[in-house]
Amino acid sequence: MDKHLYLSMIPEALIVSMLSPEDFGAYYAVGTEKKSRGQAIFCEVDPNFRHDELPIEEGFRRCVPHENGDPKRSIYITIYRVLERVPLEAIRTLYLVTQDGRVLGLPPSDTLPQDTGGLHLYQEICPIHPLIVSTLGPQEFYDLIVKTPASLLTVPAICFAEMRLGELADNPEYGSVGDLPYPNLDHLRECLADLRTKTVHTKMVDRISPATFPYRTLKSGVFLGNGQKLLFFPLPSQEELRARHYRWWRSANM
Amino acid sequence: MDIWLIINLVAGIISVGAAIAVFNWVKKQDPGTERAKKVAKWIKDGAESYLKKLYGALGMLAGGMAVILLIVFGIKEGFLYGLWMALAFVLGAACSAVAGYMGMMIAVEANVRSATASEKGLNPAFNVAFKAGSVMGLAMVGLAILGMTIVYLIWRSPQIVLGFSFGASTLALLAKAGGGIYTKTADIAADLVGKVEVGIPEDDPRNPAVVADNVGDNVGDVAGMGADIFDSYVASTVAAMLLGATLSLTTDEVTKYTVLPLILCMLGSFASLIGLQFVQVKEGGKPGTSLNNGTVYTCIIFGVMVVAAMLLGGFDLAAMWATLAGLITGVIIGFTSDFFTGDDRPPVVETAKVSGSGAAINIITGFSYGLISIAPTVIGIVVAMLIAYFVGEASSVITGVYGVGLAAVGMLAISGMIVSSDAYGPIVDNARGIAEMAGMSEEVVRVADIMDAAGNTAKAITKGFAISAAALTVLALFAAYASEMAIEGINITLSLRDPMVIAGMFLGAMTPPLFSALTMLSVTHNAFDMIEEIRRQFREEPGILKGTVEPDYVKCVSLASQDALKALILPAFLAVLLPLIVGFLMGPESLGAFLGGAIVTGILFALLMANAGGTWDNAKKYIESGNFGGKGSEAHKAGVVGDTVGDPFKDTAGPSLNTLITVMSLVSSLFAPVIAAFHIFG
């Protein structure tokens, strides 16, 4: 059986598994014996990737089929400071898994999305997960957090997503909320308005925002950067999702 | 008059014949892929198994009731009269059962065919779904006309037709309440475990209760609803016939006005048959508009037929105006009830808007709009009743109460069209579910979504129509009860200074809320059982959630069936026995007051529950369509709570109340001669 190497973002972990990405996503979201459920975001990593500080070889060695022949579902190699140690060249496809185990694979794009202007909302996913509003586009935001921090706060690598702001991007005070499901919208409006009136580029909306979020709120896709490079995994359009990934789309839109 | 009755028989045969022809046409349509057929078979088997159990239980009940009628009326009026009464009762129950069974069988055949036709576009899919709905409408009207006409032709006695109506109503009450309990038990359990606990979407084949949920749509919304309107349709006609029989005219004239309600039914069946042809939708068109157009055209055609028949038949013009008053008011009430439950109407938008502040505010707002919604309908009922009454009173031929009876018949005469539109709703709802479970294409689901939205609007309109028609029907039945008592020499005056009257009124007013509570508590108890079963399946077989193992759908279906039937026992006894206990114990005046109290609270509760439930439901849908935060928002969570509270309101207790008060009125009218002779107090 093939062995796969997966980099999980929620929680941050490196895992070896005999399951294909689709099966691993379903297993990771809904479990096996237990009635568990939860969104998952993970990347498939080149199985040849090795790192001196990570016992990957040991993980592969332990990943053997069960006595009854069933594939081994997961061997956790490490659960701490993984993202910063995996070079982006080893990252293949990123997978978004819904809470009931539907899996959507997003290959990386060569180009970053165009900045359409207005204010931005970022959900950091890994290694920490605050909710941030910013005047900066994704590339500038990533630079500020990872490459050229303007304050003492920085991370060596980051996974984040840009979230939809709808009318609030241009009109924080009076724009229509529409289908934005964010809690405490008055606070979000105030934070966005502060970006207009104060000389700051970012403002924290929520220190401990859950790393899981409704996928329908993704604006363009998911970003992954480690100081050397920024990868972008674009989410297909709503039309394409409905037409080609209907089961995932329906589950993501619950 | 016999020529009219012969035409009536022909009309009934044409209606039933058309229903059979359409039934066969629908069955010839493509049932789709093997997977779709398999899913449809699960639903069909579940529905058949429930109906078999329900009708088996009802058969025993009908048999027992027929024996009671035979004994009671045999002693009071002679053996032969008792035998005829018992036979009429059994025939009424049988006709109601056949109408419900036909409607449900075509619904389970049509939903898969409508889903399959969706691959070709909106037009073919709509055509299959609506034609299948029309089978229910045509069968119901045809069987009712045939049954009532045959019973009247044989015995020439509206009192015997009353027995037929009682049979239909008894079956309708149990079919409606049982179906309502079944459908909401499955719906709530499937949603709470599937969506909330496990996080799987609606109609997902991994949910063990998904088939029971779809079966529930058929047994509750098709078979139950069909039996319900069959009951109102027959009861309104019988009430008007009874009142016609008491007019102070020559024998020939009395016969003429006794038969007039049957003639109106016949005209309504022809109008519906023609109106059904207008319901068509082009690609890109709006199914909801087509359904509404069909209703409006049917009303116009029926109105013209009524005017022509009254003038040609030499009927008093007051009868014509009373009938038209009922018809027009019914249509207005139907469309105004859409105001409180329509997708983008102010009450729904407001309820959705305040949902951001939590479930409590959502519930208070929806409940308040439900209370407000009572006002326009009650005003409409009052206006229709007063116009019909005073038009009748102004006439030298008919009486005011007979006018009220005709107004009720006027409202319900176009039931063929109303039921067709109503039955379309659950058919397309199921078509969507089958498309989902059978893994059909996204385009199929999109078409099914468009058709489903139209079904919800049609349902809101027909619900308002059905409740207001039931209100006029029971008013006419109340008058019939008073006139039956008058025949026995007892004048019902209902003085509020009489403590027995006050006592009867309070007891009557108490009954609809008590009945509502019993049926809704049954839903919560049964849903609790089913939730445990769904959890057990997920717990013991992890492959279900991964989609590698098929759930045990049959277990949930049989659980819902047996629980629904058990839950019916107490409400059924309440409906039939309580009026008799009050009548025999407290006397005719108290029973009259009992009916008055039950009618008032029954109508108010029915309107409140139907409209508040509809408001909550559509407020949730309004949020889901991308307003006030959309799915996953705090407003949505509150909207889901409101919708769950509203489910048993609008689909279990609310719709059963019409039938409850009709059954109680019929029991009272039927047993009036016996109660007049034997009562302890009063």
Over residues B603-644, the pLDDT tens digits come to 999 999 988 998 998 899 899 888 999 988 999 999 999 999
Q: Which of B206, B146, B133 is nearest to B10 (CA)?
A: B146
For chain B, give the percent of residues with pLDDT over 70. Answer: 99
Contact B319, B406 (CB under 8 A): yes
Please write the tens of the pLDDT for every residue from B215-268: 988 888 888 777 778 888 999 999 999 999 989 888 889 999 999 999 999 999
* B chain contacts of residue A214, beta-carbon cutoff 8 Å: 631-632
SS3 A174: coil
What is the arithmetic mean of pLDDT over A212-227? 92
Mutate to test the interface with B, among A70, A168, A215, A250 (most CBs of B within 10 A): A250
Judge whether B442 is closer than 8 Å to chain A, CB to CB: yes
Q: How confident is the model at residue A224 (pLDDT cuts 50, 70, 90)?
A: very high
Across the interface, whether the CB atoms of B634 and A243 are under 8 A apart is answered no
Q: Is B182 exposed, middle or buried (0-12, 13-18, 19+ CB in 10 A)?
A: buried
Q: Rounded to the nearest 5 degrees, what angle is found at the Cα of A88, between the Cα atoms of A82 and A92?
A: 100
Q: Are residues A169 and A69 in the same domain?
A: no
Count of positions (residues) in chain A? 254
Kind and range of the H or E run holding A126: strand A120-126
Q: How confident is the model at residue B510 (pLDDT cuts 50, 70, 90)?
A: very high
What is the arithmetic mean of pLDDT over B449-460? 74
What is the arithmetic mean of pLDDT over B74-95? 91
What is the arithmetic mean of pLDDT over B296-321? 94
Kind and range of the H or E run holding A224: strand A218-225
- Whether the pLDDT of residue B457 is over 70: the answer is no
Q: How confident is the model at residue B680 (pLDDT cuts 50, 70, 90)?
A: very high
Q: How far apart are CA B555 and CA B536, in angstroms?
A: 11
- The reply to whether A223 falls in a domain is yes
Q: Are residues A130 and A60 in the same domain?
A: no
| Number of domains composing chain A | 2
Domain range holding B496?
A: 2-677
- The reply to whether A89 falls in a domain is yes
The residues, any chain, with a CB within 8 Å of residue B299's CB and separated by 6 or more, are: B271, B327, B328, B331, B414
Across the interface, whether the CB atoms of A181 and B200 are under 8 A apart is answered no
Q: How many CB pairs under 8 A join A and B?
A: 77
Predicted local confidence at residue B1, as pLDDT: 63
Judge whether B17 is closer than 8 Å to chain A, CB to CB: no
- The reply to whether A245 falls in a domain is no
- The reply to whether B60 falls in a domain is yes
Q: How far apart are CA B460 and CA A252, in angstroms?
A: 30
In angstroms, the separation between the Cα of residue B619 and the nearest Cα of chain A is 14
Q: Are residues A76 and A176 in the same domain?
A: no
Q: What is the DSSP letter of B219?
A: I
Taking CA atoms, B326 is separated from A147, A163, B608, in Å, by 78, 56, 22
Judge whether B545 is closer than 8 Å to chain A, CB to CB: yes
In angstroms, the separation between the Cα of residue B187 and the nearest Cα of chain A is 17
Across the interface, whether the CB atoms of B629 and A177 are under 8 A apart is answered yes
Contact B47, B54 (CB under 8 A): no
Across the interface, whether the CB atoms of B545 and A178 are under 8 A apart is answered no
Two tokens, residue A199: 């000389």
Predicted local confidence at residue B153, as pLDDT: 92
Mutate to test the interface with B, among A30, A97, A167, A188 (most CBs of B within 10 A): A30
How far is Cα of residue B384 from the mean position of the Cα atoms in its chain?
21
- The reply to whether B408 falls in a domain is yes
**Of A79, A106, A133, the domain-final residue:** A106
Q: How far apart are CA B258 and CA B252, in angstroms?
A: 10
Q: How far apart are CA B240 and CA B231, in angstroms?
A: 14
With CA atoms as reference, the chain B residue closest to A28 would be: B546
- The reply to whether B682 falls in a domain is no
Judge whether A22 is closer than 8 Å to chain B, CB to CB: no
- Whether the pLDDT of residue B582 is over 70: the answer is yes
Judge whether A100 is closer than 8 Å to chain B, CB to CB: yes
What is the arithmetic mean of pLDDT over B14-40? 92
Lowest-confidence range among A153-157, B16-20, B590-594?
A153-157
Query: Which of A37, A179, A243 has the CB atom closest to B198's CB atom?
Result: A37
- The reply to whether A254 falls in a domain is no
Please write the tens of the pLDDT for every residue from A180-209: 999 889 999 999 999 988 888 999 999 888
Please write the tens of the pLDDT for every residue from A95-143: 999 988 899 999 999 899 987 789 999 999 999 999 999 999 999 999 9
Predicted local confidence at residue A33, as pLDDT: 60
- The reply to whether A139 falls in a domain is yes
Q: Are residues A222 and A132 in the same domain?
A: yes
| Number of domains composing chain B | 1
- The reply to whether B516 falls in a domain is yes
What is the arithmetic mean of pLDDT over B72-101? 90
- The reply to whether A135 falls in a domain is yes
- The reply to whether B426 falls in a domain is yes
In angstroms, the separation between the Cα of residue B202 and the nearest Cα of chain A is 9
Q: Chain B, 192-211: which have a CB under 8 Å from a chain A CB?
A: 195, 197-201, 204, 206
Query: Which of B199, B539, B626 has the CB atom closest to A100's CB atom?
Result: B199
Q: Are residues A52 and A153 in the same domain?
A: no
Predicted local confidence at residue B3, as pLDDT: 87
Please write the tens of the pLDDT for every residue from B512-549: 999 999 999 999 999 999 999 999 998 888 788 878 88
> What is the residue-averaged pLDDT of chain A?
91
* A chain contacts of residue B632, beta-carbon cutoff 8 Å: 181, 214, 216, 254
In angstroms, the separation between the Cα of residue A220 and the nearest Cα of chain B is 19
What is the arithmetic mean of pLDDT over B482-497? 89
ipTM value for the complex = 0.83
Q: Are residues A101 and A157 in the same domain?
A: no
With CA atoms as reference, the chain B residue closest to A166 would be: B629
Contact B137, B294 (CB under 8 A): no
- The reply to whether A246 falls in a domain is no
Contact B230, B578 (CB under 8 A): no
Q: Rounded to the nearest 5 degrees, what angle is found at the Cα of B679, between the Cα atoms of B676 and B680?
A: 155
Domain range holding A132?
A: 120-232
- Whether the pLDDT of residue A34 is over 70: the answer is no
How far is Cα of residue B156 from the mean position of the Cα atoms in its chain?
29
- The reply to whether A247 falls in a domain is no
Please write the tens of the pLDDT for every residue from B93-131: 999 888 888 888 888 899 999 999 988 888 899 999 999
Two tokens, residue B605: 């509760």
Predicted local confidence at residue B24, as pLDDT: 94
> What is the residue-averaged pLDDT of chain B?
90
- The reply to whether B324 falls in a domain is yes
Q: How far apart are CA A33 and CA B434, in angstroms?
A: 29
Q: How far apart are CA B166 and CA B596, in angstroms?
A: 19
